[in-house]
A and B are shown apart, each in its own frame.
Chain A
Amino acid sequence: MKNHNIHKTIILASLLAASQTSLAESSITWVKAPQMKTLPSLQQTKAATATQWQQQPVQYNIDAIDKVITAAENQGYVAESKSFYMDVNGADLTKGIDIPVASHSAVIRISSMGENIQIDGSQIELSQGPTQISKQVMATGEELNSIGMAVPEHTVAMKINHQPGALRLKLNGLKTANNDRFVIHVLEPESPYRLAMTTSKQLYQAGDTLTVKAELLAADSKLPIAMQGYISRPNGEKYADLKFTTDGDGQMVANLAQLPLASLNDGLWEVHTIAKSENADQTILRDVSSAFAVTVPTAQFNGQLKMTHAEIKLGIDNHMSSRYEASGLLMGHDKTGNAQPIAMLMTADWLSQGEATLSFKLPKLLINKSGLSAPFLVTQLNLKNQSLMAPVQQIDSGFQFNMK
């Protein structure tokens, strides 16, 4: 049930609490002093142009009292797939291609990459040996796009029932040149076979080694597979191939050392993998992709830390003129000595190259409202380059301070 008055009451309660408080500053220290590193060259990394609103400083605190906030575990996303893709040309499609299917039903999407190559459902012929396979449901690219599935314009998708094995797909009367490209996308939603793939982390530090693990899972077992894969940069360009080996436990593993720097304004890094398994005279194909990020260390906390009556000032060693944000979780101690959240502190400003400062505004109203006591901690300290959409530095232990 929504309470239409609660937000107004909270504002007023905070104002009333403020009138009864008077806090003064005291000591402030790092829990563990930041380690200064030599920052890498940034010649190929450029910040996005800032709007006038991104040139101005902003301090903001979000109430976190009584909230359950957990530290980020930085685990890689586990991507799973029961589908695969084939890239074919017009000549092959006119002659007919074999699609290996491993279950009794599938959704098949055919998308033309050419601008003027229309595909009509009546042109599609599907068979298994002498048996013609009928299409249960069909949809056009326009129909799929209308509900948000952003397929290419010239697309036909269909649901079919069949036997596991080879499925013959042929397009009759296709007006196409031999080098026209088509994507065949096959989803087997009822198949027991799924490819699971994950990276060892979701956010890597620049220079880290990426580890990718993948396995083809059946209902209660893993199947041996041959795997290929590659890494693409945030702008979509291929960066490097992955070489998979087995780890002896049925998993395929690939490592890639020295992840480089790239602006994340273009998006995220991606891992693309494809697996093939020959199981009891059955060919199983699966593709899956996943995303990760790599920090761009254009700056770092330089260890300077100062508290005034109203602010906490953090020194920054900055190697690239950009807009930076520092954030951290302010915590205080309850009567049993446990640290509890008070507020998420956020501050950002446009910083020129060189020595700089970012300042948190002390949320005295929220500290009073929380009823929590010193020592206060600011944990999960994060420095981000907002102009590059990139994480820069994380110091989980943060700093602590007392107030008289």
Chain B
Amino acid sequence: MKHRIMLLMSLAVLSFSTLANTGVAFVHGTGHQTNAASDYWQWNNINSIRQGLANQNNYVVINCDFEQYMWDSRASGCLAGQLSSFISSKNITDLVVITHSNGGNVIRWIMSNPTYDSRYPNIISKIRWVNALAPSSKGTPLANAVMQGNVFESALGWLLGYKSNAVRMQQTSWMDYYNNNYLLGTAGRPSLPKTFYNVVGTDVETSIFDGDSYCGGYSLNLGLEITQAWLNSCSDGFLECSSQEGAGTTWFRDTARTSGREPLSHNQSRRKCFNLDVILRNDL
């Protein structure tokens, strides 16, 4: 009997692998994107990663308003709509989701709150796993820095420097509340229904004499010398490693897998830098 069950399972796994229609979704971070393929991920990166698909047309680049709170219909509602359309139109049965930064929080909202929206369960059922590039799972002191303070000299002090609800939400004390009460996957909380794999940026290189500093755009990295003052020694210039590893499972820290053992700054982890695209491609 046991042997028959094993044989049945093996055959079924084999047939599932053969029949699975794999797709990949690219989910951007904070910002209101209308052309994330060009403006956020860049086409050379997307085109390299999707080479790992049997059908290279089975990809979607999400464009939503992630200036909003993760539960907002313009954020997770928009993401659910675009993922549902992609799954339906391409008949996707096996979905790998690649997120960057706050995009990890938005997909984690969907996976943690499957009852919030009747579209969520079908999306979750299709997800194989999430590859979360530098997710801001525990927020960032840089959000604290731009949101806090300056409260007594001005009656509207909190408004000064106020950019978006997404930034407000990524303050560390806020993310602590949402992790404890609304999101799954942090220590002591129930696990997410699908695995959330973190790729962690541990350091930044900004030397003008180092060619590696230019990957992803040197000008994008100029402010890192300043922002690192708010962060501890293990960070990608925007997020501490403890935040990037705060939920789910760490797949790898940058230098363990990147070419030349190069670290990935926060901007480089969404670009075609140091073989990350090939690692993500091979994971499909």
Report which A residues bind B (CB closer than 8 A). 2, 4-5, 7-9, 12-13, 16, 51, 53-54, 56-60, 62-64, 67-70, 72, 74, 77, 79, 81, 83-87, 107, 111, 113, 137, 139-140, 143-152, 157-159, 181, 183, 185, 187, 189, 202-203, 228, 230, 232, 236, 238, 265, 267-268, 270, 272, 274, 287-293, 323, 325, 327, 329, 341, 344, 346-348, 386, 389, 391
A107: chain B residues within 8 A (beta carbon): 226, 229-230
**Within the complex, what minimum Cβ distance (angstroms) separates B140 from chain A?**
8
B226: chain A residues within 8 A (beta carbon): 107, 137, 139, 144, 149, 157-159
- Per-position contact with A for B121-149: 1 when CB-CB < 8 Å, else 0? 10000001100000000001011111111
A-B complex: 7 closest residue pairs judged by Cβ atoms: A87-B153, A85-B149, A348-B115, A85-B150, A150-B163, A70-B188, A143-B223
Cβ-defined contact, B188 with A69, below 8 A: yes
A54: chain B residues within 8 A (beta carbon): 116-118
B213: chain A residues within 8 A (beta carbon): none
B152: chain A residues within 8 A (beta carbon): 87, 228, 274
Cβ-defined contact, A348 with B116, below 8 A: yes
- Contacts A291-B177, A386-B116, A391-B181 hold; do A79 and B172 have CB atoms under 8 A apart? yes
Residue among A4, A147, A202 having the largest count of chain B Cβ atoms under 10 Å:
A147
Cβ-defined contact, A51 with B171, below 8 A: no
Interface residue stretch chosen among B11-19, B41-49, B55-63, B253-261: B11-19
Output the nearest chain B residue to A325 by Cβ-Cβ distance.
B115
Q: Is B221 an interface residue (CB 8 A)?
A: yes
Cβ-defined contact, A347 with B180, below 8 A: no
Cβ-defined contact, A77 with B177, below 8 A: yes
Cβ-defined contact, A77 with B176, below 8 A: yes
**Within the complex, what minimum Cβ distance (angstroms) separates B238 from chain A?**
4
**Residues of A contacting B: mostly:** strand
Question: Which residues 153-180 of B sit at the A interface, judged by CB distance below 8 A?
Answer: 153-155, 157-165, 167-169, 171-174, 176-177, 180
Output the nearest chain A residue to B168 by Cβ-Cβ distance.
A267
B238: chain A residues within 8 A (beta carbon): 147-149
Cβ-defined contact, B161 with A152, below 8 A: yes
CA–CA, A148 and B257, complex, Å: 25
Output the nearest chain A residue to B220 by Cβ-Cβ distance.
A146
CA–CA, A228 and B157, complex, Å: 14
CA–CA, A103 and B223, complex, Å: 23
Output the nearest chain A residue to B157 by Cβ-Cβ distance.
A87
Q: Is B90 an interface residue (CB 8 A)?
A: no
- Contacts A67-B190, A69-B188 hold; do A51 and B223 have CB atoms under 8 A apart? no
When the two chains form the complex, which single residue of B13, B160, B190 contacts A181, counting CB atoms closer than 8 Å?
B160
CA–CA, A9 and B140, complex, Å: 37
When the two chains form the complex, which single residue of B120, B149, B165 contacts A287, counting CB atoms closer than 8 Å?
B149
